[in-house]
Structure formats: structure tokens, C-alpha cells
């Protein structure tokens, strides 16, 4: 089995956990690929007793990779999607970060996770993405997002006006700081913090959620992902920010941007006992009350 391992950075206190993971994979005779920045950094001495290839960009990966392991938090999982793309490689997130809503497997569960991987006692949830179309170059060769697209005012400028359309039909004009177009995976992130709805991972929907709207009667709305969402922006500065999964670009108000369903999905590997409802309760303390 061929395993690719990615992380933005491994802290000194996390190195023993990485060593445990590598030893478990070696015990199962896995073929390893390590992200180049990790292999060339402070981990060289730790990795010296292991055989591995290195990868640096998404072109270095293909369908021969059986699993892509992300070590970090949820942001690291979003990075991983830009490597996997449409290759159909399952993604396994081990939480080396803080909350770990997407990276649900704790460091203490690594041995169990590796056993599940090689015994194939895991479940794969297919997570849908969004695709960004624009009349200007935007987000290079990765115009997709697992969490959300956000249209936002520039820095501390005045609020913007976002004219939003569904399949070309006018929906609403939002006077706000910004607008979030969220996928189900991202509904528990920025969308939730702006009072947007929680969507189940397998729901085929977009959530449209305004950021600090100026009107009290403006509320989030959920639309089927068979629709194309587009918008025009008015801003006193003549520019606005557009971001997908924390990748950001500054656009002129003349730019035309639209969002639609991406043609591929990303498979999230999870232990069979780690369901979405369990994650809601454990990570977000959903419905928990000291009276219960």
C-alpha cells in the first residue's frame, strides 16, 4: 500500500507522534511518500531510518497512491484537497492541531487508524466541492474549494453591496461586509460563525450567508447545488476580496464571478464509529447542557 504524508509543519512536541505513525506504517510494509518541506526540514534525522519518496506538488501524485494522510488541523486538510484534486485518493486526517472538526482522528488513535486502513475497516464519506468561474484569472489552476467562497470588503473599508443571482435570476442585494457561499463541509466553519445553517455532509446544497448584513430581515438561505450562483459587487474602493478556503485574491468590481458544483469529490476516510453527529456533539458540544 502506498501512503502519502503531508503537513504544513511538525512541531518538536509532535515528532514522537509522527515517529509512531511511521513505525506503524513500516510495520505494515507501506510504501511512503513524504512532502518535500517535511523531508528537508528538521525531521531529516527522524526520517533517516525510513525509506520514502518525496512529493512537492499535485502532479507528483497519481492513482497509485492508496491514501493521503494529513497531519495538522482543518486548514491542513483544506491544503490536502489541492494535492488530491480529482485523483480519487482518499484523505485521512489526523488531528495535530486544535479543534480538528475535519481531522477527526486524534493522535492517540493513530495505531487504531493504521490498523483500520490496512484491514479496510473504515468508511469513506464523499465530500462535494464548489467550483469558481470568472472572466479574470483567479486561483490559478485550483479554482475550487471544499469549505467556501467568500466575497468580502477590502480591509477596513465601508460595507459593500453584493447583487446575488441564481441561474441568472435576481435573488437579493446584500448590504454587508461580505457574503459566504458555503459547501456542506464548510457549513460548520465561517458560515456557522455568521449564523449560517449546519448542513449534513451528504446534502447537495449551497448555503448563502451574509456577513454583518445591514438589514434585519436578511437571513441565510440554502439552495440546491444544481444551481449556478453569481454576483456583482459595488464597493466605494472599486475593489473587493475573494477567497476560497483561505486562498485570497483582490478583484476589481468589474470582475464577474460565479460559483457552481465541482465535477469531482474528495473522499474523507473515517473510523466507522466517528459519525458526523458524534463529531457535532464532541467538537461543537452540540446540545450539551450541564443539566443533562
Q: What angle do CA 258, 173, 228 make, to 5 degrees?
A: 25
Q: Model-level pTM?
A: 0.91
pLDDT at 292: 61
CB-CB contact of 103 with 7 (8 Å): no
Name the phi and psi angles at 277, rounded to 5.
-65, -35
Radius of gyration of the CA atoms of the chain, in A:
20
Burial pattern 184-210, b for ≥16 Cβ within 10 A else e, equals bbbbbbbbbebebbebebebebbbbbb
Give the pLDDT score at 251. Answer: 95
User: Distance between CA atoms of 141 and 132, rounded to whole angstroms?
Assistant: 11
The C-alpha angle with vertex 248 and arms to 144 and 258, in degrees rounded to 5, equals 45
- In sequence order, the 6+-apart residues with CB closer than 8 A to the CB of 47 are 22, 34, 38, 39
Q: Specify whether domain 2-120 bears CATH 3.20.20.220.
A: no
- Check 66, 74, 232, 289 and give the catalytic one: 74
Residue 17 CB neighbour total at 10 angstroms: 18
Question: Element (H or E) spanning 55, and its range?
Answer: strand 52-55
What three-state secondary structure class fits 18? Answer: helix
Q: Which CATH class is domain 129-263?
A: mainly beta
Going residue by residue through the chain, which has 292 residues, state the pLDDT in tens, using 9 for 90 and above: 999 999 988 888 888 888 889 999 988 999 999 999 888 876 777 788 788 899 999 999 999 999 999 999 889 999 999 999 999 999 999 988 777 788 888 888 888 899 999 999 889 999 999 999 999 999 988 999 999 999 999 877 789 999 999 999 999 999 999 999 999 999 999 999 999 999 999 999 999 999 999 998 999 999 999 999 999 999 999 999 999 998 999 999 999 999 999 999 999 998 877 788 888 887 788 777 767 6
Which three cell numbers, joined as nine digits, stand for 261?
458544483
Domain boundaries, the chain: 2-120, 129-263
Contact 164, 172 (CB under 8 A): yes
Our answer to whether residue 289 is catalytic in this structure is: no
* Residue 158 exposed, middle or buried by CB count within 10 Å (0-12, 13-18, 19+): exposed
What pLDDT is recorded for position 76? 92
Amino acid at each position: 500500500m502506498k501512503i502519502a504524508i503531508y503537513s504544513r509543519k511538525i512541531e518538536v512536541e509532535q515528532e514522537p507522534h509522527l515517529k509512531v505513525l511511521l513505525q506503524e506504517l513500516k510495520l505494515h510494509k507501506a510504501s511512503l511518500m513524504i512532502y518535500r518541506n517535511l523531508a528537508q526540514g528538521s525531521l531529516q534525522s527522524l526520517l533517516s531510518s525510513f525509506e520514502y519518496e518525496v512529493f512537492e506538488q499535485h502532479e507528483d501524485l497519481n492513482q497509485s497512491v492508496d491514501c493521503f494522510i494529513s497531519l495538522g488541523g482543518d486548514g491542513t486538510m483544506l491544503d490536502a484537497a489541492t494535492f488530491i484534486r480529482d485523483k480519487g485518493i482518499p484523505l485521512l486526517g489526523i488531528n495535530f492541531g486544535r479543534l480538528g472538526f475535519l481531522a477527526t482522528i486524534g493522535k492517540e488513535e493513530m495505531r487504531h487508524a493504521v490498523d483500520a486502513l490496512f484491514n479496510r475497516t473504515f468508511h469513506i464519506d464523499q465530500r462535494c466541492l464548489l467550483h469558481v468561474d470568472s472572466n479574470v484569472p483567479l486561483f490559478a489552476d485550483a479554482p475550487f474549494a471544499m469549505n467556501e467562497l467568500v466575497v468580502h470588503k477590502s480591509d477596513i473599508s465601508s460595507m459593500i453591496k453584493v447583487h446575488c443571482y441564481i441561474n441568472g435570476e435576481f435573488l437579493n442585494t446584500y448590504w454587508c461586509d461580505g457574503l459566504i457561499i458555503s459547501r456542506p463541509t464548510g457549513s460548520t466553519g465561517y458560515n456557522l460563525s455568521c449564523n449560517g445553517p449546519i448542513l449534513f455532509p451528504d446534502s447537495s446544497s449551497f448555503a448563502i450567508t451574509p456577513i454583518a448584513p445591514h438589514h434585519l430581515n436578511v437571513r441565510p438561505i440554502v439552495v440546491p447545488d444544481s444551481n449556478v450562483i453569481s454576483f456583482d459587487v459595488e464597493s466605494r474602493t472599486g475593489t473587493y476580496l475573494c477567497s476560497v478556503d483561505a486562498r485570497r485574491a483582490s478583484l476589481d468590481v468589474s470582475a464577474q464571478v460565479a460559483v457552481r458544483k465541482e465535477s469531482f469529490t474528495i473522499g474523507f476516510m473515517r473510523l466507522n464509529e466517528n459519525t458526523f453527529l458524534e463529531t457535532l456533539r464532541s467538537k461543537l458540544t452540540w446540545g450539551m447542557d450541564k443539566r443533562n
